[in-house]
Amino acid sequence: METSSSTEFCLHSWGANSYGQLGQGHVDDQPEPRFSDITALQHKAVRTLTGGGGHSVVITANGEVLEKLYHTLQIYWLLPCLALPCLALLVVESLKDPVVSVAAGLRHSLAVTVSGCVYQWGTGLCSHAKRALSPRPVPPHLSSTVPSLVPGLDQKNVNMVTAGLAHCVCLTEDGDLFLWGSNKHGQLTSTEPFLSSPTLVKRSLLGGEKVVLVCSGWTHIVAQTESRRVYTWGRGDYGQLGRQTCHHAERQMIGPSAGSGNTVVSLPAEVKVLCGATQGGVSSPGAGTNMGCVATVPRATFFSRSSSLVSDLFSLAAEPDTLWQ
């Protein structure tokens, strides 16, 4: 989705708004689309807009990242933690290079710069990491409140990121997929309960093909390969994988894991009816609620590559009769 800086546009938002993530100057939930304050976006061309559990992220045409997020203030003498909403768009100033892709998880964010570097910020994965890595220290990119370079992706030329509830996904120009974070539902195709650094998904799990597009829901992932075959894996309790799951062929119980019984590994499987899909996106509007949207015939349509727990929904009208959602 991209708008011209010379085109007048308006931003509509609705849904949960506990942290002011709808950009309407208040923290009340909004059941119907209402105008958001786009003062910070005036005279800028908006290229990407995405929402997380309590924050929203925008990329402008020059690669500038603006974020609306909630801040955590420690008040030791009164409350252990008090969340204060931020009601204005803020420029993420520490990202100096232009940004080409951005994603918002429940309480973490990801960005890819034009040089192919991946940055992560937000503490949403920190508690998961502490439990899994103890007594080892938590790596900076999993606990930083400002963009921190994600290690292990040197010379990988990443061009896209997406995020789930507590996991991260990135796609390289070579068609390789890397995953890290919480593996509670086996969505990282690993036997480990938590992966602290990016781990390559074997191409043999995806028909030996390159990946050209990837989207992430709350705890599941959807990928499309170069032959336009669609694969899904991860949690499928609510039908979000778009196929019948076979526990013996696709899921394995791998010994006891740290504090969580057994680790369940979910392996990618093709959704054959979606082969040749031209548009796609997934979102997770709340715990246990997941949706998938795919267009299987070419048409002029925009879609949200919404990458995680999306408690707020957006639409952008570049013209009175054009709606993006």
Question: How far from the centroid of its chain's Cα atoms is residue 319's Cα?
Answer: 27
CA distances from 140 to 17, 55, 79, 115, 161 (A): 29, 21, 26, 21, 19
- Average pLDDT of the chain to the nearest whole number: 75
| Burial (Cβ within 10 Å: 0-12, 13-18, ≥19) of residue 191 | middle
185 closest CA partner among 282, 260, 280: 260
Token pair for 299:
């048409």
Q: Go through the chain and tell me how many residues it has.
A: 325
pLDDT of residue 310: 32
Which CATH fold topology does 10-317 show?
Methylamine Dehydrogenase; Chain H (2.130.10)
Q: Which of 107-116, 120-129, 238-247, 305-314 has the lowest mean pLDDT?
A: 305-314
For 217-243, b/e burial (b = at least 16 CB within 10 A) is bbbbbbbbbeeebbbbbbbbeeebbbb
Contact by Cβ (8 Å): 210, 203: yes
Within 8 A by CB and 6+ apart from 124, the residues are 53, 105, 106, 107, 108, 166
What's the rounded Cα separation, in Å, for the pair 80 and 8?
45
From the centroid of its chain, how far is CA 188? 14
Q: What's residue 52's pLDDT?
A: 72
Spatial distance between the Cα atoms of 212 and 228, rounded to a whole number of angstroms: 8
State how far the Cα of 154 lies from the Cα of 131, in Å rounded to an integer: 27
pLDDT digits (tens, 9 = 90+) for 264-293: 789 999 999 888 877 666 554 433 334 444
Please say whether the beta carbons of 53 and 68 come within 8 A: no
Q: Is the dihedral of CA 198, 202, 205, 206 positive or negative?
A: positive
Residue in the structure block whose two tokens are 């800086």? 5
* Distance of alpha carbon 226 from alpha carbon 222, whole angstroms: 14
CA separation for the pair 283, 177 (Å, rounded): 19
Confidence of residue 119 (pLDDT cuts 50, 70, 90): very high
**Confidence band for 210, pLDDT divided at 50, 70 and 90:** very high
Q: What distance in Å separates the CA atoms of residue 212 and residue 68, rounded to the nearest whole number?
A: 29
Return phi, psi of residue 205, to 5°.
-80, -15
Cα–Cα distances (Å) from 179 to 161, 171, 191, 259, in that order, read: 10, 9, 13, 22
- Please give the model's pTM, rounded to 2 decimal places: 0.72
214-249: pLDDT as tens digits: 999 989 999 999 999 999 999 988 888 988 876 544
**Segment among 131-135, 196-200, 237-241 with least mean pLDDT:** 237-241
Give pLDDT tens digits for 17-61.
Answer: 887 877 788 888 887 778 887 777 777 777 777 777 777 777 777
